[in-house]
């Protein structure tokens, strides 16, 4: 029969060859797919801490991760591909029929917030590279990991996935255009290189993920995602650590400017949530659409901003993205609690029922 040992509420089984084969019913074995799912769920719950761990590893052990910078675009493209496996074109079709949330999203996240961030950071910081870092951070697409929060707070999954898909596809146009329009001729930027990087790291992996999902009618994601999802989170830690290692000399907590950057980062993230909430209220979005809209509008793909900043700007320009990737998910947890109550709590359930 199968001997078992308990772990995380499940029983793992192994064959005890000394027992008689007819000694009784066997305990069900926990499948590798289910085990991978358990690991992924644990990583999702700890994701903000894991991202912070990546930054700490890169800053404390820069010599370990600095040589990985050359493969960061490949690692990030892999992470994007895994995230895109859950996207389907039919979600886009459902949401296009009611385009108001999409229009509000591009107005809020692609026009209003970059302008506000540029204006305030220009007033606060006299270093144009730091200002450029903030502009880049709020020009990149929405975070794919924001869909985790949409799911936790029972938002509209179709709208959440549609905003991710559209924002990602338009990134090679929107990001360089935003940077050029706001920073103008005051910065020497390889626009062609940035467009190519965005296409390789974000657009092509996203299209590939959607194509695999559609062509297999969901079979390939169902087969691979349980194993690739936890792997992608570990790869994200490496991406963050490799990029953070490049800015390690710039991170000095005895420098008052460092604390000013931290304060500005928190203020901008919180402001994004309140602006998104105001836009959703003005647009009279229902709760499910509001949740998807809120997290898509407020969370940025900080890892891509960090990678682009390291590659095309002076290293100090990556500081807003480094801090953003540490702070935004922790801030999202607080803002979600403020707006919608405890996850799974009475307020969230009550609002969902309305």
Name the token pair of 353.
């029922």
Identify the pLDDT of residue 7. Answer: 46
The secondary structure of residue 218, as a DSSP letter, is: T
8 Å CB contact between 144 and 71: no
Q: What pLDDT is recorded for position 345?
A: 53
Residue with tokens 């090679």: 172
Residue 285 has a pLDDT of: 93
* C-alpha dihedral (161, 226, 352, 325), degrees to nearest 10: -60
Phi then psi for 3, rounded to 5 degrees?
-85, 145
Does 267 map to a domain? yes
The tokens describing 56, both together, are: 């700490």
Does 44 fall in a domain? Answer: no
* DSSP label of 182: H
Domain membership of residue 80 as a residue range: 50-353
Residue 295 domain flag: yes
Return the H-helix or E-strand segment holding 282: helix 256-282
SS3 content of the chain, % helix, strand, coil (to 5): 75, 5, 20
CA distance 298 to 83: 18
d(CA 174, CA 171): 5
Decide: 320 and 133 in contact? Cβ < 8 Å.
yes
Counting the structural domains of the chain, the total is 1
For 255-305, how does the pLDDT look when each residue is reduced to its tens digit (9 = 90+)? 888 899 999 999 999 999 999 999 999 999 999 999 999 999 999 988 888
pLDDT digit string, tens, across residues 183-233 = 886 566 677 887 888 888 888 888 898 889 888 888 888 888 888 888 888
Residue 107's pLDDT is 95
C-alpha to C-alpha distance for 163 and 169, rounded to whole angstroms: 10
pLDDT for position 260: 94
Please check whether residue 23 lies inside any domain of the structure. no
Under 8 Å between Cβ of 343 and 152: yes
Assign 77 to helix, strand or coil: helix
Give the pLDDT score at 12: 45
What is the CA 11 to chain-centroid distance, rounded?
33
Place of tokens 């304060």: 263
Residue 29 lies in a domain: no
Tokens standing for residue 344: 């799974």
What pLDDT was estimated at residue 349? 47
Residue 9 lies in a domain: no
Residues of the chain short of pLDDT 50, as ranges, are: 1-3, 5, 7-15, 17-18, 20-21, 346-354
Tell me the C-alpha distance between 198 and 196, whole Å: 6
**CA dist., res. 129 & res. 321, Å (int):** 12
The pLDDT assigned to 346 comes to 43
Kindly state whether residue 16 falls inside one of the protein's structural domains. Answer: no
Q: How many residues does the chain have?
A: 354
As separate numbers, helices (DSSP H) first and strands (DSSP E) second, the chain gives: 19, 2
The dihedrals phi and psi of 217, each to the nearest 5 degrees, come to: 55, 40
Residue 131 is part of a domain; what is its CATH number? 1.20.1530.20
Alpha-carbon gap, residue 348 to 338, rounded angstroms: 11
Measured distance CA(212)–CA(206) in Å, rounded: 10
151 located within any domain: yes
């Amino acid at each position: 029969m199968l001997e078992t040992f308990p772990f995380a509420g499940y029983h793992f089984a192994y064959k005890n060859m000394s027992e008689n084969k007819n000694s009784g019913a066997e305990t069900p074995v926990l499948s590798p797919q289910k085990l991978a799912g358990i690991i992924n769920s644990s990583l999702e719950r700890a994701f903000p801490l894991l991202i912070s761990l990546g930054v700490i590893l890169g800053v404390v052990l820069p010599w370990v991760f600095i040589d990985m910078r050359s493969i960061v675009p490949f690692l990030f493209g892999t992470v994007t591909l895994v995230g895109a496996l859950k996207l389907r074109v039919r979600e886009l079709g459902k949401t296009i029929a009611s385009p108001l949330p999409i229009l509000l999203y591009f107005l809020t996240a692609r026009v209003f917030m970059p302008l506000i961030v540029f204006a305030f950071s220009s007033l606060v910081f006299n270093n144009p590279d730091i200002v450029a870092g903030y502009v880049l951070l709020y020009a990149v697409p929405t975070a794919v990991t924001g869909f985790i929060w949409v799911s936790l707070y029972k938002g509209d999954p179709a709208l959440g996935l549609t905003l991710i898909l559209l924002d990602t596809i338009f990134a090679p146009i929107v990001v360089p255009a935003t940077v050029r329009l706001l920073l103008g001729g005051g910065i020497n930027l390889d626009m062609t290189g940035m467009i190519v990087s965005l296409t390789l790291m974000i657009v092509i992996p996203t299209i590939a993920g959607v194509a695999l999902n559609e062509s297999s009618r969901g079979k390939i994601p169902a087969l691979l995602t349980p194993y690739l999802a936890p792997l992608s989170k570990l790869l994200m830690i490496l991406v963050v650590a490799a990029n953070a290692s490049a800015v390690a000399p710039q991170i000095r907590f005895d420098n008052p400017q460092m604390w000013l950057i931290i304060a500005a980062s928190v203020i901008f993230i919180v402001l994004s949530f309140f602006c998104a909430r105001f836009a959703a209220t003005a647009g009279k979005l229902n709760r499910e659409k509001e949740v998807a809209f809120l997290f898509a509008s407020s969370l940025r793909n900080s890892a891509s901003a960090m990678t682009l900043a390291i590659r095309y700007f002076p290293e100090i320009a990556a500081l807003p993205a480094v801090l953003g990737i540490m702070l935004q998910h922790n801030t999202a947890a607080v803002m979600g609690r403020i707006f919608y109550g405890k996850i799974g709590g009475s307020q969230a359930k009550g609002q969902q029922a309305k």
